[in-house]
Chains A and B, each alone.
Chain A
Amino acid sequence: MTSPIKAEDSGSAAVLDPELAATTENAVVKGEKQPEGRSPGQLMWQRFKRDRTGVVSACVVIFFFVVSAAAPLIAKLYGKNPYTLYAQEPDYPFLLDDFAMPTGSFGGMSGEFWFGVEPKLGRDVFTMLLYGMRTSLYMAVVVTTLCVITGVVIGMVMGYFGGRVDYWLGRVTDFFLAFPQQLFFIAFMPVVVAMFVDPQDETPTFLRAVAITLVMWFLGWMGLARLVRSSVLSLAEREFVEAAKVSGASPWRIVRKEILPNIVTPILVQATYILPGTILSIAFLSYIGVGFVEPTPDWGRMFAIGADVYEQDPMFMFFPGVALVVFVLSFNLLGDSVRDAFDPKTGR
């Protein structure tokens, strides 16, 4: 019972004081609470749970994801869709006035149209926003995943192999960092689209999505690769990696079992910054008219419509705008909280 391993298990005090160790063991025998070892992940989770801002923003972020995933269901229950021009439907004769602006106050908000009606075309703002968020979030998740995987792989290769591989991959990373990002997106959208579609034809929506994903992926991985590289470099010097090497573990095993678990958290933190950034970039592209086009519902394009009619109908932009601000804000706060939970030393 009093093996050294057992003593170590019951807390550091026990190692220093054999008597105390004995009492602790008695306590265990009596069935009282046993001091348990916690993994770094558990510690992090506990710290995170105590951070009220973090929990609230996590809930908001989850809410956004659930609402977007359930958009078709919600739209069905609500009984509208983002494509129908309700102003032309016989059921809603007085939706838009003579100037094609919503008749009701606050952009035509009513029990029928919760977030109002789109000026000119008379579409339902609520479902437009739902589906727009859905498009953006799906795309952002895909792009972020691709960027994270690419960044991790390249960063690992750079950090682990070092030497010439590191040097040249580092130069490639620098090279891609020198591109003016948004101008690159604008410039390469038609080129990438032309890879798939004949210029004479209309571009299908999913090909636009593929093109946007590709250009964003192309310039999205460098920051993460650098981060992973430096983490791997510092880890590779540590004793446990040395030990694994000496005991004859293959590089693949070392990377997978020794290094990767130790850099998951910084990657996670970085990903929480990449995702909202990607959403904003997609919104930016659609806003300036290079990304998604009519009639695909898109978050960014709602701002373009809103800017068009802002003087007459400022309410149109209200809900998309507030939703975007709340989403980005909670994602930023969440990222900060995850970082704090991971490393409590970085005080704010």
Chain B
Amino acid sequence: MLQFLIRRLIGAVVIMFLIGAFTFFLFYTVPQDFAALSCGKNCSPENLAVIRENLGLDKPITTQFWEFMTGIVAGRDFATGHCAAPCLGQSFSTGEFVWDSILDRFPLTLSLTVGGLVIFLIVGLGAGLLAAWKRGTVADRAVSGASIVLSSFQIYFLGPIVLGIVVYQTGWLDNPKYHPFTENPLTWAAGMLIPWVVMATIFTAQYTRMSRSTMIEQLQEEHVRTARAKGMKQSYVFFRYAWRGSLIPIVTILGIDLSALLSGAVVTEFTFDLAGIGRLAVDSSLTKDLPVTMGVMLFGAFFILLLNILVDLVYAYIDPRVRLS
């Protein structure tokens, strides 16, 4: 198990390095004049020269890359001060260190992602199990039909509808707002409830369909039939034999969906006007604040890789074949 984990971690570091290199070279070589890009419209030559010097754009590209990479590991010094260890550079427009702005925004995105994930896994898998259990009945058809319709909805369409009903019309809940979890877990949950539910709805639908179909497949497997033939209790066969097997493909898909989950969080941020890292990425992209854009992008890749390793661990736990290979 430990060996497996170490192998995965090394792979993740290599991929992270490659993504960093790829992004860096694309960002710093493709736009002919990077300084002009960050300077924007009506740029005076003096500003341009200052920006160029601050960015170290006069140095060769490999030196810049080396500085950027060592900055991430060991920190680096800017004209405005020292940027501590995971240093992703400095914003053009605000002068803030990129890592600080990401840390500032990330708790919100993390809350969205994790909350949504928990809800859609519980509801989605539960509904799928129910549909597979009652296969062919009204309940099954209702669940399957609802899931196929709901999976065609979009967060930016469903969000305003839910807001309109729950907040504007009836006033049951307040407008979604982020309160730090450490302050008060209850207000945190209350503020995030609507975004969670809306985001989870879209994903729930997919997972319901999937868990239903894999469960039905599993119920036809030979070991399940044998267990039944032995006269085991139906519920025991269902949960201990079939469910465990049906989790394997679901965890696989979950691993693939993680990046979709993060982008779901980005759309959710926009729909409910919350300031997470998605908003940070878009704002910086629109103002051409490239160090910030690049930082968020790398951070997102890192976050997804990390979650992927977690998913792999779960996978190894469920499926012994993965551990042994």
A interface, CB within 8 angstroms of B: 174-175, 178-184, 186-192, 194-195, 198-200, 280, 283-284, 287-290, 303-304, 306-307, 310-311, 314, 317, 321, 324-326, 328-329, 332-333, 347-348
A213 → B minimal CB distance (Å)? 16
Tell me if B282 and A186 are in contact (CB < 8 A).
yes
Which chain B residue lies CB-closest to A284? B267
Question: Chain A residues with Cβ under 8 A from B285's Cβ?
Answer: 186-187, 189-190, 290
Tell me if B296 and A183 are in contact (CB < 8 A).
yes
Tell me if B163 and A310 are in contact (CB < 8 A).
yes
Which residues from 141 to 172 on chain B have a C-beta closer than 8 Å to any C-beta of chain A? 144, 148-149, 151-154, 156-157, 159-160, 163-164, 168
Which chain B residue lies CB-closest to A306? B160
Question: Chain A residues with Cβ under 8 A from B19's Cβ?
Answer: 175, 178-179
Tell me if B281 and A186 are in contact (CB < 8 A).
yes
Tell me if A329 and B156 are in contact (CB < 8 A).
no
B190 → A minimal CB distance (Å)? 21
Instruction: Using C-beta atoms within 8 Å of the partner chain, give the interface range for chain B.
Output: 35 or more
Question: Chain A residues with Cβ under 8 A from B259's Cβ?
Answer: 179-182
B89 → A minimal CB distance (Å)? 14
Tell me if B43 and A303 are in contact (CB < 8 A).
no
Apart from A183-B278, A199-B39, list 13 A-B contacts with CB within 8 A. A175-B19, A183-B301, A186-B293, A186-B297, A188-B26, A190-B286, A190-B288, A190-B293, A303-B156, A307-B160, A310-B160, A325-B157, A332-B148
Question: Chain B residues with Cβ under 8 A from A332's Cβ?
Answer: 148, 151-152
A227 → B minimal CB distance (Å)? 13
In the complex, the 5 A-B pairs of residues with the closest C-beta atoms, listed nearest first: A182-B263, A329-B152, A194-B31, A180-B300, A321-B157
Residue of B39, B160, B267, B304 touching A314 (CB-CB under 8 A): B160
Q: A186-B293, A199-B37, A310-B160 are in contact. Are A288 and B152 (CB under 8 A)?
A: no
Kindly state whether residue B70 has any CB partner on chain A within 8 Å.
no
Question: Chain B residues with Cβ under 8 A from A328's Cβ?
Answer: 152, 154
Contact with A along B183-213 (1 / 0, CB 8 A): 0000000000000000000000000000001
Q: How far is the CA of A283 from the CA of B263 in the complex (A)?
A: 13
Tell me if A307 and B154 are in contact (CB < 8 A).
no
